[in-house]
Amino acid sequence: MRTFTGVGSTPLSGVGTARWYRPEADLTLPDRPDPSGVDPDAELARFESARDAAREALRLARDRAAERVGEEEAAVFEAHEQFLDDPELVGDVEDAIADGTPAEHAVSDRFAAAIERFEALDGQMAERADDLRDVRDRLLRVLLDAGADADDGTALADLGGLPAGTVLLAERLTPSDTAELDPDAVAGIATVEGGRTAHAAIIARSLSIPAVVGVGEPLREIDDGAELLVDGTDGRVVVDPDAEARAAAGGDAASAVPDRVSTADGRRIEVAANVGSEAEIGPTTERGADGIGLFRTEFLFYDREAPPSEDEQYEAVTAALSAFPDDRVVVRTLDVGGDKRVPYLDLPNETNPFLGRRGVRLSLDEHRDLFETQLRALLRAAASEHGDGLAVMFPLVSRIEEVEAAVSAVESVAADLAAAGVEHAVPELGAMIETPAAVFLADRLADRLDFLSVGTNDLTQYVMAADRENDGVADYHDPLHPAALRAIDRTASAAAGTDAWVGMCGEMAGDPALAELLVGLGLDELSMSAVTVPAVKERITEIDSADARELADEALACETRAEVRELLDLDAADAA
């Protein structure tokens, strides 16, 4: 056996046959002509046409990814589309074309320079270089007429049709590449380059595909057809694994922890899963999740020409409740606006949509009718066979008045249902803690609600004033910054001693390396991508609550995120 090491990205293992993916072979540029023979106007028109085709392809990719892996993960393609309109990048390409460079060479040259700048940075910023490659390759496919299966030249290799038992090897995979993969066919992924927080790695986790990234140049020594074990927990790729190696790595079934877990000293921690589509419910139960900690209802509103009916929403929620008859299912009311666009809802165009009308703000104003329809479906579902496990939370709360108005809307809908003789019940009600305002008001929110759920992605964005989709400030968007940690601690502390429980959803909650810190901060529930549930459950059983609180206190005393990472024994690639 030969063993290669990298960064474990998806904590699963798989065995299969190696197959190299080399998309660069389809993107070989022709010889560069003399600038005097180039027609700049014609080349500029080709570039503009390629941008239009790539933009349309990205929107189709976003829709496919949203259906397969959820809206949160699919948002990366909206960020990719922004690269197509980046004034500096586009301007550089146009300047090169004006100087007599063919469009494909101008794209290749200018994107290469931008990619090099990203790779010179650290952590998540370096990993965003893969996003630029994705956009570059889409443009080049059009300009070079590569990809025989698409009229516009934007087709990728047939990654969705790989034979069963394939272990896909590549220098790197882009988010588009990864979103195309069939998790039932792909036994694992291993790449030369890449990191755990790259978008491609996040999508692989959402698809529950075992993955090891950043193996380095030695991976190229593996030939097509070799039998491989991909161990995404320990970050190993083993060639010709024997029975002992396979047993040591374990498998999907062995990874599942069906029972609820407690810390070593007996403190119960609920480990739930985030669900962004109906297709994710099955894998969530298989991984042993203690219910659903974030049921994103947005997926019901996408890929259609009108909002879903009350009955459609009722059926989707009761299906989730039936899958977890003894557990809690936390449904987030419609959370659109910001980076989540629904064309038929005619959402406002705003200079800074993340600071505009989104989440509960829209539900209580322009889209009050949609909100009340959704509440009718939810209150009916709360009275269904397994409805006593339903909880409902309101997104992007920043004022007490919003919570009071949302609770009042629930009471009004309940009265209307009662008057009509419709069976219903009022579920647990909670709020997402995503804004600094909600953190400062957490004690008052806990007095009015049954639970609080910390949304670390948006909370970090607002605490650090760093757009989560802006690569230029990606270094700021880290929940391990002391300011973000103190916001989490303040929220949990505010609810302590009340009847309200406190949970967390997002990538941070799903990192086993952070489980002790989160237990120490006082979280009662952690919700995450289903694939990380078993590893987090296993880690929780090893934690002592007193030691965890001591660790949390030390982390809260840190002044920089570098100090926090050193305390947690993390390097830049380890933490989500």
Whole-angstrom distance, CA of residue 461 vs CA of residue 400: 21
- Amino acid symbol at 538: E
State the Cα–Cα distance between residues 228 and 221, nearest whole angstrom: 13
- Parallel, antiparallel, or unpaired for β 211-213 and 7-10? antiparallel
Paired with 8 in beta bridges are 212
As a residue count, the chain comes to: 576
Looking at the DSSP assignment, which residues form a beta bridge with residue 432?
453
Q: At what angle do helices 103-119 and 40-69 cross, to 10 degrees?
A: 50
Contact 14, 230 (CB under 8 A): yes
CA-derived radius of gyration, the chain? 24
The residue type found at 247 is A
477 catalytic residue (yes or no): no
CA distance 102 to 33: 8
Amino acid in the structure at residue 133: R
Catalogue the E-assigned strands of 144-287. Answer: 166-170, 186-191, 211-213, 227-231, 236-239, 261-262, 268-275
Q: Does 558 participate in catalysis according to the annotation?
A: no
H/E element, 76:
helix 76-84
Tokens of 27: 């993107």
Q: One of 477, 481, 505, 558 is an active-site residue; which one?
A: 505
Which among 336, 410, 359, 335 is positioned nearest to 380, based on CA atoms? 410
Cα-based distances in Å from 563 to 260, 513, 549, 566, 569: 33, 16, 17, 5, 10
- Which tokens go with 336? 């659109």
Which of these, 339, 465, 434, lies nearest to 74 by C-alpha position? 339
Pairing of strands 268-275, 261-262: antiparallel
Residue 446: helix, strand or coil by DSSP? helix
The b/e string for 88-103 (b: 16+ C-beta within 10 A; e otherwise) is ebbebbbebbeebbbb
> Which residues lie below 8 Å from residue 176, measured CB to CB, with a gap of 6+?
61, 77, 134, 138, 156
Partnered with residue 229 across adjacent β-strands are: 15, 238
128: Cβ contacts below 8 Å, ≥ 6 apart: 118, 198, 471, 474
Which listed residue (199, 424, 477, 481) is catalytic? 199
How far apart, in Å, do the first and last CA atoms of the chain sit?
31
Structure tokens at 487: 């916001």
Q: Is the distance from CB of 497 to CB of 219 less than 8 angstroms?
A: no
Specify the DSSP class assigned to residue 337: B
Residues noted as catalytic: 199, 505
